[in-house]
Chains A and B, each alone.
Chain A
Amino acid sequence: MTTAVSFQNVSRHFGPVRAVDDVTLSIAAGEFFAMLGPSGSGKTTCLRLIAGFEQPTNGHIEIFGETAEGLPPYRRNVNTVFQDYALFPHMTILENVGYGLMVKGVPRAARQKKALDALDLVELKGFDARRPSQLSGGQRQRVALARALVNEPKVLLLDEPLGALDLKLREQMQVELKTLQRNLGITFVFVTHDQGEALSMADRVAIFNQGRIVQVGAPQEIYERPRTRFVADFVGSSNVLPPDFVASTGGPARWMSLRPEKIAIAAGTAKPPAGSHGVVAKVTSVHYQGAITRVNTEAFGQELAVSAPSSLAGLDIGETVSLSWPLSALHAMEDET
């Protein structure tokens, strides 16, 4: 399999700040790769390193086998969809989309045809004569996408492209982006702080924290088997159980991750079934979320969140409940935070 982007011990320091700290990474051609992390975790800087807006302080970057460091953005066959779209306000939509072709000297007729095709691809037919200011956020987002795709990039970089859209539109664009990527076969590198977005769209996800990659893997792997407490907490807000608590419920004395949806909840004090661990807890709050209800409980000073089907969770605050989970639901993590 061809490698689209590879980072070898790449660092980017801004004075004393290590925005990216010794990152080694390999993204396969045709892959939908998500970089997930809280703000300031270095994911955007990584994207800018690929685009060429930043140069690494240390390390080596290759894009399709070509050394990237020292190469300015305009010499890279990589295009970016910017967070706030960065459309040119003084140009029409058609001129915006055709811009990359225009600066490369593609004749007017050919470039207009390609630009119109690209607008067609993102379902913006008939918008070509308008100005960016006349479009809605979702439409601008599509123009930004068309403007990047028209150049047939080898790698498409997306910097929180759905961040400014409302929920409904965001979910729709997620599906569309994924379909588009599959049909075009272009490598997508997608930066987001929304774990749901990353898990639902990406083939592989890299979790960033404090300039480093904490874990890379398929979404299921990241979700089911978080390597550290940070990953467990950040991706799907798992219950992170300290070693002494796990030991008190009959497990090994290790840091464990326990997904809220794997916990069974029942009113009263019942013994856990065979092959399960369990604890008696008190309900501290109940959050109805439609299909499921999130019940926050507390046992021996440890908070435990439970996701239960709403039909089962007719509970009141302060009520005593018994929680149980199968041994297989516990996932041991490394000691680092």
Chain B
Amino acid sequence: MSTATGLARERRGGLLRQISDALFRSPFLLLTLLLAPPLLWLGIVYLGSLLALLAQSFFSVDEFSGLINREFTLSTYQELFRLANLDIIWRSLSMAIAVTLAAALIAFPIAYYAARYAKGRLKAFFYLAVMLPLWSSYLVRVYAWKLILAKEGIITWLADKLYLTWLLDAILAIPVIGGPSLSISYIGTFLVFLYVWLPYMILPTQAALERVPANLIEASADLGALPRQTFWTVVFPLALPGLIAGSIFTFSLTLGDYIIPQIVGTSSYFLGQAVYVLQGTAGNIPLAAAFTVVPIVIMAIYLTIAKRMGAFDAL
């Protein structure tokens, strides 16, 4: 130690040490190295292919040859706005709205309890209960629901045992959303969507509620706010970003899904099914691309409205 004259400690290591020193001296290089792989993935593989897909929507299909005409045209969008296609958009949109609202209504109390009251083992149980369904295959769960909802399924059986068959029949007799059985009706599709996407609503809501400081709730009560007022003026606005985040999941996942409505529900198409059929058997890639633009535009509108309403002010 007596020979040490400068600041530097005794030198150890070789190349690795030099690399780490170089990175320490140029933080920009470090940042570039860290961000390059994800940015390449996100930028080229993910966004790039999405843009390529969107570009397809401005091409058209030659009616005679069935070949794709690679010239800029809006005719595909004209086709998109045909009544039959608007019907698909409207159906998907209403389903997504219904599923999102119902999920928010069910998720909020669960998330509130988990965030504010559950402790220790109870909290572990909560996470397990919410996440466990996500561990099994989505397809398996959807088929399980088909059996539950089928005419010979457990719900029909239970309704019969409880002498509630009349109620089930009354529900199935509701025009539009009813049908011959739950598994062949919009109610069935709705229930399965709700079940499958619910965790995606609960988790962000719970995270947002957990971040609401307890002393804000005390301060509100201290200033004379009734529990109801505290909820609507303090807890809810502060949890809203979480609810919005959850609703982005439930909303966009419902809009784009093509498996659930195919297994459970009527034969009418949803957006995802339309895309699936158009790009596959029909070979109409431009129209399929135009269909995928629809949920993107809807989400953009939804987020703009949410922002205008101040949903992200508490972020």
Contacts and interface: CB of A to CB of B under 8 A. Distances in A.
Interface of A: 51-53, 72-74, 78-80, 82, 84, 86-90, 99-100, 102-104, 147-148, 151
Given A99-B225, A100-B225, 10 more contacts: A74-B223, A74-B226, A78-B222, A79-B222, A86-B219, A90-B238, A103-B220, A103-B233, A147-B223, A148-B223
A88 B226 CA distance: 16
B224 A53 contact: no
B62 interface: no
B153 interface: no
B223 A99 contact: yes
A75 to B, nearest CB: 8
A74 B215 contact: no
Contacts of B14: none
Interface in B219-264: 219-227, 229, 233-234, 237-238
Given A80-B219, A84-B215, A90 B237 contact: yes
Given A84-B215, A86-B215, A90-B313, A73 B238 contact: no
A104 B77 CA distance: 54
Nearest to B240: A90
Contacts of A82: 215, 218-219
B213 interface: yes
B237 to A, nearest CB: 5
9 smallest beta-carbon distances between A and B, as pairs: A100-B223, A86-B219, A103-B225, A73-B221, A90-B314, A86-B215, A80-B222, A103-B229, A74-B221
Contacts of A88: 216, 219-220, 234
Contact of B224 (A86, A87, A90, A103): A103
A73 B218 contact: yes
A294 B213 CA distance: 43
27 contacts: A51-B222, A52-B221, A52-B222, A53-B218, A53-B221, A53-B222, A73-B221, A73-B222, A74-B225, A78-B222, A79-B223, A84-B215, A86-B215, A86-B216, A87-B219, A88-B216, A90-B237, A90-B238, A90-B313, A100-B224, A102-B233, A103-B220, A103-B224, A103-B225, A103-B226, A147-B223, A148-B222
A89 B225 contact: no
B223 A89 contact: no
Nearest to A83: B215
Nearest to B214: A86
A130 to B, nearest CB: 14
A79 B225 CA distance: 12
Interface string B290-315: 00000000000000000000000110
A88 B314 CA distance: 10
B218 A103 contact: no
A72 B314 CA distance: 28
Counting chain A CB atoms within 10 Å of each CB, which of B218, B219, B226, B314 scores highest?
A: B219
Contacts of A90: 237-238, 313-314
A87 B215 CA distance: 9
A259 to B, nearest CB: 39
Contacts of B233: 99, 102-103
Given A90-B313, A90-B314, A103 B215 contact: no
Contacts of B229: 103
Interface residues of B, number: 20
Contacts of B227: 74
A72 to B, nearest CB: 7
B313 A151 contact: no
A104 B220 CA distance: 12
A99 B222 contact: no
A299 B55 CA distance: 92
B220 A99 contact: yes
Contacts of A104: 224
B230 to A, nearest CB: 8
A187 B128 CA distance: 50
Contact of A151 (B215, B216, B224): B224
Given A90-B314, A103-B233, A72 B221 contact: yes
Contacts of A89: 238, 314
A90 B240 CA distance: 11
A236 B238 CA distance: 44
Nearest to A53: B218
Contacts of B237: 90
Interface in B194-232: 213, 215-216, 218-227, 229
A139 to B, nearest CB: 17
Contacts of B313: 90
A186 B263 CA distance: 70
Nearest to B229: A103
A187 B122 CA distance: 43
B224 A74 contact: yes
A148 B218 CA distance: 13
Interface string B29-66: 00000000000000000000000000000000000000
Contacts of A52: 221-222
Nearest to A84: B215
A195 B221 CA distance: 30
Nearest to A95: B233
Contacts of A72: 221
Nearest to B218: A53
A74 B115 CA distance: 23
A25 B233 CA distance: 36
Contacts of B219: 80, 82, 86-88
A89 B310 CA distance: 13
Contacts of B224: 74, 100, 103-104, 151
A89 B220 CA distance: 12
A154 B72 CA distance: 74
Contacts of A100: 223-225
B238 to A, nearest CB: 6
A6 B45 CA distance: 71
B225 to A, nearest CB: 4
A292 to B, nearest CB: 39
